[in-house]
Amino acid sequence: MANEERLDIHNSEIPVVCRACEARHRGICGALDPEQLQKLGKHAIRKVVDDATELYSADQEIERYSNIMSGVVKLSKMMSDGRQQIVGLQFAPDFVGRPFSRQAKTTAEAATTVRLCSFPKNALEKIISETPELEHRLHEQSLKELDEARDWMLTLGRKTAAEKVASFLHLIVTHINPEWEDTEDTVEIELPMKRADIADFLGLTIETVSRQLTNLRKRGIIDIRDRRIVIIPDIHKLFAATQQDLSN
């Protein structure tokens, strides 16, 4: 296997911290050659933050970008009187940050414990300008986020409370493991956030979220354990509930 040896030799140029990183395979760092990885790696800091840690805040200067290595980050907006809306959830190996803007437009907060690989704004933007393939990857992620945001606009604007909660559960399931989208098996998931966050994501109150969860439970679409663990015996039935009013 001369090939494997060649691969190993090649690997040896890649920074140690990057070798096992998912962002190098499915994330944006896959666009970088070993030399660029080294350059960026020099400025990169890996860190682990607890849930509720704020990564950056709306209207503030952006100083660092990050890759999510594990965990969930929520992006939110708040009105002056305190009303809040979560406008995006990001999972590994997503890129976090708003390129080409001095100010952040959302607040980013760890929803769970999150492992991050973070680097200064300037270091990344320099490499972007030299690497069209990197900008292409960032562009693809922006387009993916735009698709997701627009899907969610339909949920926010036109679905009932029961459909919204089902849509949330379906989103979580398919983001934890995309293959579960069309499995026949029973699936068990841990909700990455508390009821208040779910309410802010769905444009509801915590009471309504709670009521609709027990509504789905009573209809046999889900089962709930320990308040955070949800069991879904039939994903297709859950999907049906995302578009068909079950409030009666």
Site of interaction with its own copies (CB under 8 A): 75, 77, 79-81, 83-85, 87-88, 98-101, 105-106, 132, 135-136, 138-140, 142-143, 145-147, 149-154, 156-159, 202-203, 243-244
Q: For residue 220, is it left (φ>0), alpha (ψ between -120 and 50) or beta?
A: left
Would you count residue 225 as binding DNA (CB under 7 A)?
no
Provide the minimum distance between the beta carbon of 207 and its own copies in the complex, in angstroms, as a whole number.
Answer: 16
211, 223, 233, 237: which one binds DNA (CB under 7 A): 211
One-letter amino acid at 207 equals E
CB 42 within 8 A of CB 36: no
- Out of its own copies, DNA, none, what residue 64 binds, judged by CB under 5 to 8 A for its kind, is none
The closest of 63, 88, 93 to 76, measured between CA atoms, is 88
Would you count residue 66 as binding DNA (CB under 7 A)?
no
114, burial (CB in 10 Å: exposed 0-12, middle 13-18, buried 19+): buried
Stretch that binds DNA, among 68-76, 95-103, 125-133, 196-204 (CB under 7 A): 196-204
129, 177, 214, 243: which one binds DNA (CB under 7 A): 214
Would you count residue 195 as binding DNA (CB under 7 A)?
yes
Q: How many residues does the chain have?
A: 248
Tokens of 30: 């896959």
- Out of its own copies, DNA, none, what residue 152 binds, judged by CB under 5 to 8 A for its kind, is its own copies
Would you count residue 161 as binding DNA (CB under 7 A)?
yes
- Out of DNA, its own copies, none, what residue 213 binds, judged by CB under 5 to 8 A for its kind, is DNA
Who's near 181: CB < 8 A, 6+ residues apart?
173, 174, 235
116, burial (CB in 10 Å: exposed 0-12, middle 13-18, buried 19+): buried
- Out of DNA, its own copies, none, what residue 216 binds, judged by CB under 5 to 8 A for its kind, is none
207, 219, 220, 236: which one binds DNA (CB under 7 A): 207
Helix, strand, coil shares, percent, the chain, to 5: 45, 25, 30
CA distance linking residue 151 with residue 154, whole number of Å:
5
CA distance linking residue 56 with residue 60, whole number of Å:
7
Comparing CB distances to DNA, the nearer of 18 and 213 is 213
Q: How far apart are the first and last CA of the chain?
A: 64
Would you count residue 227 as binding DNA (CB under 7 A)?
yes
CA distance linking residue 246 with residue 183, whole number of Å:
23
- Out of its own copies, DNA, none, what residue 243 binds, judged by CB under 5 to 8 A for its kind, is its own copies
- Out of DNA, its own copies, none, what residue 206 binds, judged by CB under 5 to 8 A for its kind, is DNA
Residues that bind DNA (CB under 7 A): 160-162, 194-196, 203-211, 213-214, 224, 226-228, 247-248
